[in-house]
A = this chain, B = another copy of it.
Amino acid sequence: MKVAIIGATGYGGAELVRILHRHPRVSIHSVHASSSQGEPLSNSFPHMQTIVHDQLQSVDLQKIAAEVDLVFTATPSGVAKELAPALLAEGVKVIDLSGDFRMNDREIYKKWYGIDAADEKLLNNAVYGLTEWIDVDLSEANLIANPGCYPTSVLLGLAPLVMNQKVDENTIIVDAKTGVSGAGKGFSAATHFAETNDNFKIYKVNQHQHTPEIEQMLQVWNSQTGAITFTTHLAPMTRGIMATMYATATEKTSTKELLDLFKESYHDKYFVRIRKEGEFPSTKEVYGSNFCDISLAYDERTNRITVVSVIDNLVKGASGQAVQNMNKMLGIDEKTGIDFMPVFP
């Protein structure tokens, strides 16, 4: 099977290259970008030198469609919705790492993203790719909306609680922290070392565009779920997301009982690891890997549940999950090529 990556000069694209380069069943046919065309990709990413020999190509959709089976679009908001139709029309599968196809409601997309949403038909066609909780047969899907990094960590942490009505639907608060690679390769105050190192920041309070993405899925799981509070912070580290989540229990319970529920919910999900009672994950424990580690605690004093979920934002939060979805689309084991161990320390 041959794939193309459009948007290969960003961190998401580079991580796709890292992962797919060693994938036993799929090969990278071509890498594309809107700049640096004709140059080796390894000029943009010297860590790839001598390993990756591909040159960046322009985005010629007809040519791409004629040559590959599947395309990853790791492009800024609003780009994939323009690229996808021509590819899908030629029978090429598309996995989009941007937010273009995640929201069912075009108005909500426009409100949070500030630009027009994709066509209704495309949106209806897209499958939201939170791999562990997809209830359709991906081998028949041709367009995947790969989840955002924050929503991946949050939804995996909340799923068993919300699906099983364990929490009051109007009490969900998510306090999320991310490493700086989530802000991308572009230059900004958020990515300036001297402004960020040894510093802890909060940003986009009540305004992060991942908020409706999370709410949409929670409402699929429990239609009663109300608006959530979702807060994002920037931690002085390169990779990793931790989502600390709070909700009031619908009835008295215990940490053990809830952990058992989580273990049951995820017993056949290789990439979700539930920790032992009293142990909590840290982001480095999933660094560079496709794992999502989760733990929780119930507090009798407040009747509240605290769930903690960690991922590598560039792997399970982006390119790793994209490959996991690709595997399922291609009908091969979802672990193929992404079952590497976290890099620690």
Contacts and interface: CB of A to CB of B under 8 A. Distances in A.
Interface of A: 11, 14, 17-18, 21-22, 45-52, 170, 173, 175, 177, 179-181, 183, 185, 187-188, 191-203, 205-206, 226-229, 231, 233, 235-240, 242, 244, 246, 270, 273, 275, 279-289, 293, 297, 299, 301-302, 304, 306, 308, 310, 339-345
A18 B343 contact: yes
A179 B235 CA distance: 11
A202 B242 contact: yes
A54 to B, nearest CB: 13
Given A191-B194, A297-B205, A50 B282 contact: no
A268 to B, nearest CB: 12
B51 A203 contact: no
A299 B206 contact: yes
A266 to B, nearest CB: 10
A180 B206 contact: no
Nearest to A49: B273
Q: Which 9 A-B pairs have the closest CB atoms?
A: A187-B187, A199-B284, A175-B175, A47-B342, A194-B345, A227-B301, A201-B282, A47-B344, A47-B285
Given A21-B341, A185-B195, A200-B240, 8 more contacts: A11-B345, A46-B275, A187-B188, A192-B193, A200-B237, A202-B282, A229-B306, A236-B236
A197 B179 CA distance: 11
B231 A345 contact: no
Contact of A198 (B237, B273, B289): B237
B306 A206 contact: yes
B240 A233 contact: no
Nearest to A50: B273
A286 to B, nearest CB: 7
Contacts of A299: 206, 227, 229
